[in-house]
Structure 1
Amino acid sequence: MRGLTVRQPWAWAIAADLKPIENRSWATRHRGEIAIHAGQCWDEAGARDWRIMEAAKSEEPLEPDERFVFGAIVAVADLVDVTREASSPWAEPGQVHWLLANVRPLAEPVPCRGWQNVWQVPADVEALVRAQLGLTA
């Protein structure tokens, strides 16, 4: 299983199946299953982003609270395409849009160290994620 580290509150929005696009400055050839890893950092700009505030049903910028897990895999999604032509409020101009579908949030996030780029999820962590989702290796 491959993983992608995403800062909070963006990872929360993906895991809640509210944000179907992850924006990156680079593309990947990977398609298929990808673990969404919530990184250790809080993105202040993301907390003030109108899309995040709307998704959270908040009129104020978000603050870290119990909704936001750090340093763990929080969901598994299918990376179905990578394009510069996505038409969505979540698609940032000038970025590469990673289109996500079939998001499966984890009831119990699995602690794990994250890395830059697309990375290989350690076998022991993958086993815990797959067991929780009722998937086989």
Structure 2
Amino acid sequence: MKAITIRPPWVHAITEPPLHRASGAGFPKRTENRGRPTTYRGEIAIHAGATWCKAGLADGRVQRYLHGTWVDAAAAGFLALGLTVGAVLAVADLVDCHQAAPVDAAGETCCFPWGEPWHAPGRPAFHLVLDNVRRFDEPVRTAGQLAVPWTLPADVEDAVRAQLRRAAS
């Protein structure tokens, strides 16, 4: 099975339900922003990287989704929320990958609100579009990789597929 490693807290906006069901909690993240495209389409394991992204901790979209409001990331204690890292948390379908396309002068893109226009200055982002996210009750521990996509080790794939079967029954 193919996999993608996504740094926390971005990965949790894909795999977790909002912690607070308040109005304005936002929508789950279904667009992953990357610096290069992939031709892969199909089932993909969603792996939570071990290193937290500081920009993600301060991002208003993540804050609104996970907390229902803007909060100070340090005061909110993102790291103390018990969000799992270093494990496969879910499986999704990677249904599309395209270069970011601006839709208005304000900088919104085709995959608003999670799609970014730029990966780095002068380098457009590529949007990896996810659908049908199936979250596990028990994360499957494994190390991640930088490649998109990478292949799960056979024993990890077996454990992931067992989680999928449990979730389906």
Which TM class, normalised by the smaller chain length?
over 0.9
In structure 2, runs of 5+ residues without a counterpart are 18-27, 102-109, 118-123
1:1-137 to structure 2, matched below 5 A, reads: 1-16=1-16, 18-56=28-66, 57-62=68-73, 63-84=78-99, 85=101, 86-93=110-117, 94-117=124-147, 118-134=149-165
1:37/1:71 contact within 8 Å kept:
yes
* Aligned Cα root-mean-square deviation (Å): 1.4
Which AA in structure 2 matches 1:54? R
Which AA in structure 2 matches 1:8? P
Three-state SS of the structure 2 residue aligned to 1:98 is strand
Partner of 2:24: none
Give CA deviations for 1:41-85 in whole Å, capped at 9, x if unaligned: 011110110110110114214321234211100110000000123
Aligned mates of 1:125, 1:87 — CA distance in 2: 31
Three-state SS of the structure 1 residue aligned to 2:85 is coil
Aligned mates of 1:128, 1:45 — CA distance in 2: 32
Could you tell me the percent identity over the aligned residues?
Answer: 44
Aligned mates of 2:80, 2:5 — CA distance in 1: 19
Three-state SS of the structure 1 residue aligned to 2:14 is helix
Moved over 4 A (4+): none
Question: Between Structure 1 and Structure 2, how many residues are aligned?
Answer: 135
Aligned mates of 2:80, 2:130 — CA distance in 1: 25
Give CA deviations for 1:12-63 in whole Å, capped at 9, x if unaligned: 1111271000000011111000001001101111011011011011421432
2:15/2:90 contact within 8 Å kept:
yes
Higher strand share: 1
Q: TM (normalized to structure 1)?
A: 0.92
Aligned mates of 1:113, 1:46 — CA distance in 2: 21
Q: TM (normalized to structure 2)?
A: 0.76
Aligned mates of 1:59, 1:87 — CA distance in 2: 22
Q: Who wins on radius of gyration, i.e. which is larger?
A: 2
In structure 1, runs of 5+ residues without a counterpart are none
1:12/1:67 contact within 8 Å kept:
no
Aligned mates of 1:47, 1:55 — CA distance in 2: 12
